Structure 1
C-alpha cells in the first residue's frame, strides 16, 4: 500500500466539506462515501487521522470511529491498528447493492431494515427445520454453548450470536436468502455490537437462541418459526433502542 503523504491528508480533508442531515455516524459515513466514489483517491491511500476528520467534520471522534468501522465491514476501507485507515480499492465496485437503497445507518430506514431482517430470519428458521443436516445442527448447538461460555465477554458473546445466525442461514441451501441476510447483517453490524450491553440482556438472548435450536432439532417448521419470532421481537427491540437518537 502506498504511504500517505502530508499533502494527501490536506487534500482529502479539504474535500470533505459540510455534512448532510442524519445522525453524526450516518452523516460521516455518507460524506466519506461520496468522496471515495468520485475516484479521485488512489486505492491504498491512507486517510486522515480520526482527530483531523472529527475536527474537519465538526463531530466527535466516536462518530468518526463508528462510521469507519461500518465502512470497514462493508469492505470500503481497511482499518489497521497502529497504522491508520486505508482505502481498499475501487470503492464503487466494492459497495453492496443495498447501499443504493439508502439502508445504511441511522433512523428511520435502519429501523425498517431491522423489521425486514426479522421476517427473513423467521423464514430461514422455518426452512432450516426441514433442511438442516445433523452436522450443521450440531454446530448450531455449539454456538449456543459459546454464547453461554462468553456471557461475561460481550464482544465474544456477540460474535457467537452472529455465528449462530450465519450457521442457520447457510443450512437452508438458499443462496438468495443467504446473501440477503448477510448483506443486512453487514449493514446492521455497528448497531448489533452495541445492542447487548447488560448481562441480563445476554442471558435472555441465550435462552431465546436455545429455544430456536431446540425447535429446529425437533424438525418442526412451525415451532422453529415461532421460536425465532419470539427472538426477533426482543432482538429487534434492542436493536431499535440502540439506533434511536
Structure 2
C-alpha cells in the first residue's frame, strides 16, 4: 500500500495525507470493507507523524469514506463509484485555505438559521436548548462532552429553522470543522468563553426577537471564527516546523 500512496511533504501533512488517501481509496483498487494499515504503518510509509495520519483519517471518516472502529481498525466504507460524489463535493476542503472559507460560510449559515429559529422554535425546543447549555456548563473540564453539547446546541437551532437543506449543510460543515473546534476549546478558559457566548444566544432566543438573536449569534460566530482560524494557523506553523 505504501507504494500506491507514496510519501508526502511534511509541510502540508494533514491535507496532503487526506488527499493522498482519498485518491487511493477511490481508485477502485481495493474492495469495500478492506481494513487499512495501522496508523503507525501509514505514518512510516508516508514519512510523517502519526498525529497527521490520525487527523487525516478523522477527516475521511467525517466525509463517509472510511469507518474507524475503536479496537478494530479503519475500514473502507463503500466502492469507488459510491464515494466519488463525496470526494468531488468535499475533498478539496481539507486544506487550510478551504477550511478558512468553510469557517466563513458556516458563520453566515449559523446566523441565518438562528434568525429563522427565533420565530419558529417551539417551547419544547427552547427547553431542550437550555438543557444543552446546562450540559456545557457541567462539562467545562470534559472537552468531549462539552463539544457534544455544543454540537447539539447548534444542530437544534438549525433544526428549529425548519429548512432541511440548511440543516444538512450546517451538519456537514460542523462535522468537517470538528477537529478544529476541539483544538480551539482545548483549555477550560476557552470553553468558558464559548459557554458565555452560547448562553447569550440562548437568552436572545428566549425573547424571540430575531434582531437580538442575530446580534448574539453574530458575536458568537465572530469569536468562534477567530478561535478556529487561530488554531488552524497554529497547526500550519507546526506542520511547517515539523
CA drift of 1:102 comes to 4.8
Give the match for residue 46 of structure 1. Answer: 35
CA distance in 2, matches of 1:45, 1:97: 19
Match of 2:150 in 1: 161
Q: Check conservation: 1:125, 1:168, Cα contact below 8 A.
A: yes
SS at match of 2:177: helix
| Partner Cα distance (1:45, 1:102) in 2 | 21
The C-alpha deviation readout for 1:61-114, integer Å capped at 9, x for no partner, is: 110011111111222111122221111112542466585365422311211110
SS at match of 2:96: coil
Instruction: Compute the RMSD of aligned alpha carbons.
Output: 1.7
> Quick check: 2:10–2:48 contact (8 Å CA) kept in 1?
no
Residue of structure 2 in register with 1:200 after alignment: 189
Distance (Å, rounded) in 1 between the aligned partners of 2:84 and 2:134: 34
Partner secondary structure for residue 44 of structure 2: helix
Query: CA, structure 1 residues 234+61, in 2 after alignment: closer, same or farther (shift >3 Å)?
Result: same
CA 1:103–1:239 in structure 2 vs 1: closer, same or farther (change >3 Å)? farther
Aligned to 2:125: 136
CA contact (8 A) 1:105 1:188 kept: no
**Structure 2 unpaired stretches of 5+:** 237-242
CA contact (8 A) 1:118 1:229 kept: yes
TM-score normalised over the length of structure 1: 0.90
Q: Secondary structure at the match of 2:74?
A: strand
Distance in 1 (CA, whole Å) between partners of 2:170 and 2:79 is 24
Q: Offset at 1:240?
A: 0.6
TM-score by length of 2: 0.91
Q: Distance in 2 between matches of 1:17 and 1:113?
A: 28
Q: 1:172 aligns with which of 154, 157, 161?
A: 161
